[in-house]
């Protein structure tokens, strides 16, 4: 009896035969989805990681070969089985060369098909996903580091191609982990400034007193510790691109100075009265709600409009689950390079379904961390299973205060509350990459309150 979670896509334009076979497969414990055409099969494959696809070879429109090709392209680990009344050696050889696991000729006994499916499930071998992934990278846009074929990503590629050649300021917004800096680098690489410098600075990672010096530079003796003159990031990016990450955390005292750079393309180093002219393209990024900050008075309205000339909103990973198999293959290739003579390292279809169904609050960065964790826990195995995934992807509930029952002997309530508080603070810091201000906002605390709590942990 197969695993009850084994999912089969059955493709055949003969409704009566398809229905009977599907019913028998369900009786054997399989989960079965049906498609009456190649087009319908491709639509179902786009949104779900099936374990097996069983397809008639002769179909109107997109035939069985097209279905098999599309299935193996999207999920290199899927088992493909062809059923046809045109049973020739040429057909069999052709479909197996294309990646089919086996070939069943009509008319067939159900037990014959069942045997083929069970044998293929037991002997599953997967192709190298790294070579496949490289073919998916759309070099037409010069976006070799970006992965995704969803509608949202195709729209993003087109926007990058359109805006890159100009000198317009770009504001990239999106949740943490969606790849804002990757998009900024792609815009630079596709621009006319690609031969010049790309200079990045994380405004939230540098203490406020030092951020001004990092951006604008200083001359010797401008302040205590300024033992020599130094170029700032703006000057370093002259003729190139300046990327301001987490621009929403920039102190209001510096926002006016940045506004002048955007308007006049000039600035002064700290301690130097001379004005320096620059030709710099500015790309900014934030996961903050800048319009709300403008209303609250914590971000200048005029600066917001200067930055928001070309807005680029990145989609969260939960809105493009069809890209997850491509991303997983990319991360495996990055973390576990092929060429060691072993079978390709792959992900089980059950594990892939869990990955595609997850909400991913940390987006692409969180997905990469999960794959890295799975590889570390795999013990040298060449296959990532559900047990290698974190508890939240395995469906195991994380203990919470509301799930706690009062024991007969009582509980240590202060300790229980402290443990819950520590877990939530840790999660907030992970989600915001250590940005205490952003973490405090997630927790509904003042930044100073969060700092005090961290001292006591």
Give just the sign of the alpha carbon dihedral 143, 149, 153, 157. Answer: positive
What is the predicted pLDDT for the residue at 415? 72
What is the predicted pLDDT for the residue at 167? 93
What is the predicted pLDDT for the residue at 399? 44
Buried b (16+ CB within 10 A) or exposed e, 84-109: beebeeebbeebeeebbbbbbeeeee
Distance CA 51, CA 83 (A): 17
pTM reported for the whole predicted model? 0.62
Tell me how many degrees the CA angle 167-172-177 measures, rounded to the nearest 5. 140
What is the predicted pLDDT for the residue at 279? 96
Phi-psi region of 304 (alpha: psi -120 to 50; beta: other; left: phi over 0): alpha
What is the predicted pLDDT for the residue at 274? 92
Domains in the chain, CATH or no CATH each = 7-125 (3.40.50.2300), 151-313 (3.40.50.300), 324-386 (1.10.8.60), 401-456 (1.10.10.60)
Largest CA distance in the chain: 90
Residue-level pLDDT, tens digit, the chain, 457 residues: 444 468 999 998 888 888 899 999 998 889 999 999 989 999 999 888 898 999 888 888 888 888 998 998 888 888 999 887 765 556 766 777 778 888 788 778 888 888 889 888 877 644 433 333 334 433 333 455 688 888 899 899 999 999 999 999 999 999 999 999 999 999 998 999 989 999 999 999 888 878 999 999 888 877 777 667 888 999 999 999 999 999 999 999 899 999 999 999 999 999 888 999 999 999 999 999 999 999 999 999 999 999 999 999 999 999 999 999 999 998 988 887 655 556 678 899 889 999 998 999 999 999 999 999 898 887 778 889 888 898 888 864 444 444 455 555 666 777 778 777 877 887 777 677 677 888 888 888 888 888 888 777 6
Shortest CA distance to 394 belongs to which of 365, 360, 421, 354?
354
Distance CA 393, CA 359 (A): 10
Neighbour-count burial of 219, counting CB atoms closer than 10 A to its CB (0-12 exposed, 13-18 middle, 19+ buried): middle
What is the predicted pLDDT for the residue at 144? 56
């Amino acid at each position: 009896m197969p695993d009850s979670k084994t999912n089969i896509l059955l493709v055949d334009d003969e409704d009566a035969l398809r229905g009977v076979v599907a019913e028998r497969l369900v009786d054997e414990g399989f989960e079965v989805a049906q498609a009456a055409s190649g087009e319908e099969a491709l639509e179902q494959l786009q949104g779900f990681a099936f374990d097996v696809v069983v397809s008639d070879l002769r179909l109107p429109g997109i035939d069985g070969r097209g279905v098999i090709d599309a299935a193996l392209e999207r999920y290199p680990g899927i088992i493909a089985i062809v059923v046809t009344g045109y049973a020739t050696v040429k057909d069999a050889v052709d479909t197996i060369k294309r990646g089919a696991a086996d070939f069943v000729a009509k008319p067939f006994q159900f037990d014959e098909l069942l045997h083929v499916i069970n044998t293929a499930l037991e002997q599953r071998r997967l192709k190298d996903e790294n070579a496949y992934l490289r073919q998916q990278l759309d070099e037409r846009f010069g976006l070799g580091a970006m992965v995704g074929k969803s509608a949202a990503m195709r729209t993003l590629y087109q926007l990058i191609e359109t805006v890159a050649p100009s000198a317009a300021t770009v504001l990239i917004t999106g949740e943490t982990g969606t790849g804002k800096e990757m998009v900024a680098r792609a815009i630079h690489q596709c621009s006319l400034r690609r031969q010049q410098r790309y200079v990045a600075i994380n405004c939230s990672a540098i203490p406020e007193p030092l951020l001004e010096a990092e951006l604008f530079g200083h001359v010797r003796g401008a302040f205590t510790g300024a033992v020599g003159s130094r170029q700032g990031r703006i000057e370093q990016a002259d003729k190139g691109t300046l990327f301001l990450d987490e621009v929403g955390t920039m102190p209001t005292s510096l926002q006016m100075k940045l506004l002048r750079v955007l308007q006049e393309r000039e600035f002064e180093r700290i301690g130097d009265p001379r004005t320096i002219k620059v030709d710099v393209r500015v790309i900014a990024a934030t996961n903050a709600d800048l319009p709300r900050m403008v209303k609250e008075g914590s971000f200048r309205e005029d600066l917001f409009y200067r930055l928001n000339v070309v807005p680029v909103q990145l989609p969260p990973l939960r809105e493009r689950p069809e890209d997850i198999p491509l991303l997983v293959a990319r991360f495996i290739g990055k973390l576990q390079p092929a060429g060691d003579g072993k079978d390709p390292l792959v992900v089980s279809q059950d594990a892939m379904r869990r990955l595609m169904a997850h909400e991913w609050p940390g987006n692409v960065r969180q997905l990469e961390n999960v794959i890295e964790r799975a590889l570390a826990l795999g013990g040298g195995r060449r296959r990532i299973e559900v047990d290698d995934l974190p508890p939240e992807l395995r469906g195991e509930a994380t203990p919470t205060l509301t799930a706690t029952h009062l024991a007969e002997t009582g509980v240590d309530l202060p300790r229980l509350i402290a443990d819950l508080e520590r877990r939530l603070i840790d999660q907030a810091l992970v989600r915001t990459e250590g940005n205490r201000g952003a973490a405090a906002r997630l927790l509904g605390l003042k930044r100073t309150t969060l700092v005090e709590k961290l001292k006591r942990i």
